[in-house]
Copies of this chain bind each other. A is one copy, B any other.
Amino acid sequence: MRDLLYLKDDQIKDFIEQIFYAYRETYSDPKKVLKKYSFGIAHHKAIHLIERHEGLTVSDLLSKLKITKQSLNRVLRDLVKNKAVSLKKGEIDSRQRQIFLDEKGKKLSEEIFIEQKKRIYNALKNSDADSVIKFKNILSKIINE
């Protein structure tokens, strides 16, 4: 291993710690909004991914969330009951269910985003494009390691 300053153990420990803080803060910002709908962070993550990938299947969502289908099912049941999302038979493969946001889900998704956006926007607004690209690039590497 090369003896680079930024690869020293303490530096790596800093990153491990900061990733935790960044996650915790980013995902606690929309708590009030979620509470208004009686939803939690599990619903939030599902809503986020459905909004970003409209029409995704249950197994698509499962593999993004990496939770069991029993866990996801509770969440989806809540969301459907609340008319935030709808499940429709898959067009190609009718065993599958494709998931879509209803009006209420779109509204919730927007409200959540307004809260979360602030933190990220403010962190990035004074950074140059190069910094942001590099940030994203390293984040991707961490995920795909």
Q: Which A residues are within 8 Å of any B CB, using their own CB? A: 1-2, 4-7, 9, 12-27, 45, 48-49, 52, 66, 113, 116-125, 127, 129-143, 145
Copies in the complex: 2
- Contact yes or no, B16 A19, CB < 8 A: no
Q: A45's closest neighbor in chain B, by CB?
A: B20
A64 CB to nearest B CB, Å: 9
- Contact yes or no, B129 A131, CB < 8 A: no
Say which residue of B12, B135, B137, B139 sits within 8 Å of A121 (CB atoms). Answer: B12
Question: Which of A14, A48, A124 counts the most chain B CB atoms within 10 A?
Answer: A124
Residues of B with C-beta under 8 A to A125: 2, 7
Given known A16-B26, A16-B48, A23-B23, contact A123–B136 (CB-CB < 8 A): no
Say which residue of B1, B130, B139 sits within 8 Å of A22 (CB atoms). Answer: B139
- C-alpha gap A119/B132 in the complex (Å): 21
Question: Which of A2, A66, A120 counts the most chain B CB atoms within 10 A?
Answer: A120
- Contact yes or no, B120 A15, CB < 8 A: yes
Residues of B with C-beta under 8 A to A21: 143
Say which residue of B122, B132, B138 sits within 8 Å of A124 (CB atoms). Answer: B138
